[in-house]
Each structure stands twice: as structure tokens, then as C-alpha cells.
Amino acid sequence: MFNKLNYFKTIFPGVGLALIFYLFSHGINNVLAIEIFGTEKSPISTVLIAIILGIIMGNAFTPRPGMMIGLDFTQQYILKLGIIFLGIRLSFEEFIKFGSIAIPLIIVCIISVLILIKLLIKKVPISSKMSYLIAIGTSVCGATAIVATAPVINAKKTEVAYAIANITLFGVIAMLIYPNFAEWYFNDENLKAGLFLGTSIHETSQVAAAGLIYDQQFNSPETLNVATVTKLIRNTFLVIMIPLFAFLYNRGELKKKSYSILNIFPYFVLGFIGMIITRNLGDQFFIENENNNYWINFIEYIKILATAFLTMAMAAVGISINLSELKSMGYKPFVVGLIAAITVGFISLIYIETVTKFLI
């Protein structure tokens, strides 16, 4: 009990700061909408405001080490709780429908990025380990995939840091730009916009934030749902990709690298599915009850918490981004990362425009 209390005291400052950023961003959003633009919604979403404020503060002031513990906790655990809570928005039928459409697209994007990076490193020489890390980070699930892959290919700490910085930079840029691009390009086709956001942005947090920005700006819960389902299915491909990378990198060696499927599986995906099941069972139980206001209110509270937790996590991500570190890492890995990021978006667009019309 005493240790738990000490741990709570340790994480409280950072978590509290992320919460303050959420509340402040929400307040700015309301002021922009009501006082300046005279509209119901601000043209700048709460999530976008939170991450921009986080980047500004994180680079104007150096957060204390004690503060970073809570911010890391927010990025890891509160983010995942927010993603789990997003499941309350979905029916199980929607999950199956979106997933069946997304899986072929995910496979095409992964294969395309792997082939591209294999060709690129002949023109832009970087280490083979770095190329593996950028490939899996771009195609599967960002920093999580990089950290999980690093031990099985014996990557150096500097290579891991370069790859994570790479994914963070281009993922954040895509998160800020792609929601408006998707609305312009797909012209209110919410399913296609969600598929694009879910496959073309790297990190789970970035996809969730982009989907939330799209929902807040263009009133499209379906796009957020599709993007989230697509990204979570994409995450499960870690179970296939890391053993494959371990084999490809270590083939010909007598010594085999060890890895554990249990350690790399993204368990919060199961929480997300559990929340979908909870929503559907609750609807079935309370639909027969005329006084189902408590259930409806519960769903709305969970939706609000999901938005709050995701916004807190993105504020924490913003505070953790050190722009000066990105400058010092050299340009070659970033060239590879930029081309890979653009390519996965381009492949996603081509697939959505040509193949999904036969699936939808």
C-alpha cells in the first residue's frame, strides 16, 4: 500500500500537467469557437491545440525528470485506456465490417514499405538494422514496433533513437495534415477517410488523435471508428512481423535471437474489443428497459473520458518532443523515413480508390 502511494505521488505531477493541458486546450477551443468565430465548433480541434502547446512548452522549458515520469505514464497507459474506451462507440458488426475491409489494405501497405526500403537503402546507404527499424515502424505501429524489434536484430541504442525520432517526426506531421487532406480528397466519404488515416499514420496515438481531430472538425464518428479499428488490427501484425524480421536478419547464423509473442502482443487491442462487447451487451440488456437513461449517460461519460485521455496523451507526446535532438541526427535516415511515409500514404490512396469499391 505504501509503495503504491509513493508511485502515485511520483506520477501525479506529470499526469496532472497533462490534465491541465487538456482543460486549457478545451477552454481555448471554446473561446475560438464562441468568441472569435461565432460557431459551435472551432476550426482548430482540442487535440491539435494540446499537441502544439505541448511542443511549444517542451522546447521552451526543460521538463524536470520527476515530471517526465508522469508524462511517460500518460503516454503509455492513459493513452491505451483512452483507446480502449473508444470501443464504446462501435457495434460488433461494425468492427467485423471495418476489419474485413482494412486487413487486405494493411497487408498491401506493409509489403510495399518493405520492398521500398529494401530498394532505397541501395541509393541512400544506412545500416541494415536501421532500415529494418524504419520499415517496421512505418508499416506496423511506430515506436512500439521499433522497441520490440530492436532486441531481435541486436540494434544499437543510437539506431533505435534515430528510428523513433524518424517515426515521431513524420507521424506528427501526418497527424496534423492528413485529417484536412482526407476531408478534401475523399469529400465526406467517412469510411475511406478512416481507412486512409489508419494505414498512413505511424503511431497508434497519432492515428487516434488524427481520427479525433477529423471527428471534432467534420463531425464524423465513423471516421474515428474506422481509423481506430484499422490501426489496432495493424498493430497485431507485430506478432507476424517481428519473428519474420528475426528470421531475415539472423538467417545463416547458428545463434538464434530470442523473442516472445506474449511480450510483443498489443493487449490493449483486447481491451478495445472488450469495450465493444460491453457496449453491445449493454444495448441488448437496456434496450428492453424503458428507463435506459443511466446506460445512455454511461456511454456518453466513457466517450468524454476517451477524448480527455487521448488529448492528455497527445499533450504529453508534444512536451516530450525535443526539436533540437531531431536536428542533430543526420539526414540520411530521415530521407528514407520521409519517402517511406509518403509511399505508404500513396499506396493507401491507390488501394482505397481502386480496390475498396469492390469491398464496400
| pLDDT tens for each residue of 208-254 | 889 989 998 898 999 999 999 999 999 888 878 877 777 776 664 44
pLDDT at 254: 41
State percent of the chain over pLDDT 90.
Answer: 24
- The pLDDT of 264-279, averaged and rounded, is 85
Position 357 pLDDT exceeds 80: no
The amino acid occupying position 336 is: V
Mean pLDDT of the chain: 83
pLDDT at 251: 60
- The pLDDT of 255-261, averaged and rounded, is 56
**DSSP-derived secondary structure letter, 256:** P
Q: How far apart are CA 239 and CA 247, in angstroms?
A: 13
Nearest one of 50, 64, 106, 57 to 238, comparing CA atoms: 106
- pLDDT top residue among 301 and 8: 301
Note the helical H segments in the chain.
2-31, 46-60, 65-73, 79-86, 92-123, 128-136, 142-153, 157-186, 190-200, 204-218, 221-236, 238-250, 261-264, 268-286, 293-320, 323-327, 332-354, 356-359
Q: Computed over its alpha carbons, how large is the radius of gyration of the chain?
A: 21
196-199-203 Cα angle (round to 5): 120
Position 260 pLDDT exceeds 80: no
pLDDT at 296: 85
Nearest one of 167, 168, 214, 170 to 192, comparing CA atoms: 214
Q: Is 307 helix (H, G, I), strand (E, B) or coil?
A: helix
91-146 per-position pLDDT tens digit: 888 888 888 889 999 999 988 888 888 888 778 777 778 888 888 888 888 877 88
If you write DSSP's letter for every residue of 230-248 in order, what string do you get?
HHHHHHHTHHHHHHHHHHH
pLDDT at 57: 87
Position 290 pLDDT exceeds 70: no
312-329 per-position pLDDT tens digit: 988 888 888 777 766 666
Q: Are 313 and 204 spatial neighbours (Cβ–Cβ below 8 Å)?
A: no
pLDDT at 346: 93
Q: How far apart are CA 186 and CA 191, in angstroms?
A: 9
Least confident of 22-31, 64-73, 132-141, 329-338: 329-338
Query: Cell digits for 189?
Result: 466519404
Q: Is 319 helix (H, G, I), strand (E, B) or coil?
A: helix
What are the domain boundaries of the chain? Answer: 2-359
